[in-house]
Chain A
């Protein structure tokens, strides 16, 4: 037997590999980018797009790197030597690219994928700019609905079969299949009926071109006008890593972000559309204080804070928090309640879970609340301060029964009758902070500046100001001071806090 070869030379540098790894995997691990469409680290290897061509020294023809085992055949005792940028490799990719573009429509200006399209990127790198074919492009169906959330364009499709493999291997529902062959090949929904898996929209992300687009997002915005932030899905307690995308104050889309310990590359459709309320026309943008004649009038922050302190002094009571509040906000809410000699409670909905990325618990920070010893509120919880972002956590009857005088609300529709002072609450996408998911993993939620109304006050700062008004001895700590306190709590001794450790960076695409 002897020693098996366990290294490979890529572009002249020697890299170790684990048995079973293919060249593209080792290259990606070491920061060497090889173009690919049909390869996805989370799915089986199909090897049908042919764009990942590399040169294997000693072979006259280029080979695909996604399916090429790093281990040489047993009779060769030398490590493989491959070149990703040599003339042979480049010619291979150029030829493949020309074939991929033979029937691809040139509709980038109206295509939603433009800006994040791999076909666009790679054709910029290895495209010829001039086709050697002169025949007309094949006409195929466009605007084909795949269920109610996805639209398929067979002309843009490059037949990488990623979506088909996703339905076979991840959801195991087999809704999609490849039909036909050659230039008339396309993805079709099989006779099973609706494309209704709750994870269906993941195929939009993995589609390397604009063949699969989201009915929700299409034609809303060009990518390069949008701002993105790494955030956490708050529609469920799993803590799915996401990227929020917004433009000019409008929340436009949510896409999953790789995290090996929670969601890999995927997310549920439920979380993807959980942003609609952020764009509500009845969003609060100013502080409101109730007049002597019972009408709300707009107030500046200082007046509103002193009015709120006044209302709380004459009306001390518990604080009812939305289950999506961050750790920092919960700590300060506890302190505010403490200044009144009361408690902070949180309310969060429960619903159906699927045992994977949708949990029964819907409060994104329910576990964090447990660690901070913030109790779950009763159905009819009397409170003097109400923090309400999501309708489902604190429903209308709970809001009215609370009798809260100071209300932090995202949407003006959610303000109960009893409110004396109302502060606008930025939505989760506009706040930053720490959330602890149901498995006890603390994660950092980034603020997206392109979402929500301008100039909203920072929630934690208003909370601190309120505590300061009620408690003369209060020393301002700031969010960083609060975080230091959280880190010192015994309940958090075993929790890796994201601002202490380096944020895990995904190796996926």
Chain B
């Protein structure tokens, strides 16, 4: 059966703590930390962007899959921070991993859901028999306006998945998507920072779509929360995924392995895909895993995965996600962070 044959993660080494941001804006750090359940977030170096992190995550996915990159038939990057407005990110990735020129490539965009969108399409093409292998990446170097609540969580990271029919690490048993037109978060053309609907991003947006997708896929497959070893929800902050899990009837121990947000922040298109890499890192053969993404605008993609025996062979072939998260951290002061994120206006 078709499924994930390799996976990989990329997380920048730089971090900034909530206290460091709160200090600049005169905000109360403890209440932000308590409200968001976030302690620190990742920050890309000035020479890192969605493309560079996508390449690094994909190289790890290739190491785990052990396939010839020339046989990859499709390369998709889902992101809301593609470095170019016009010129694809995917071509750089396809070239960097050696998949060109016989490859279909597209950049996807759907707020935080773009990563699982690519996974859905790549898996679909493999299942249809149109391509042998498909690569899908969710990556972002997300921006929050200075002083906005989003600044405490907008982080950077990437997760890459290779799909195929042989050497499968996690079979895709079921998929389901739940989409409506809901303006909870947006960024217009030429605008640098996104805007959001405050509390409107909660119940009618995040919760409605994730619950809709999770109930939909469980109904379709006949499975219930206790059938799953692990579950990953989109992580815009620490609280939302824990609360939606509770509402749906999942226990904290099912959520925690993929719950990276307290130390990572919200990596947007990389968020739930990165949670899945961390979960696969500790999964055992036979485990059932549910992943439900969320993208503002709004929609959720859900996948039910069954981990295979091969997980034990590939796990150690590339860096594990928790290692990337916990090792080699470089803590930044706000000034350096503002410089790295191009928040300082310079002379032309």
The answer to whether A and B interact is no
Hey, which bits of chain B sit against chain A, CB under 8 A?
A: none
Q: Which residues of A contact B (CB under 8 A)?
A: none
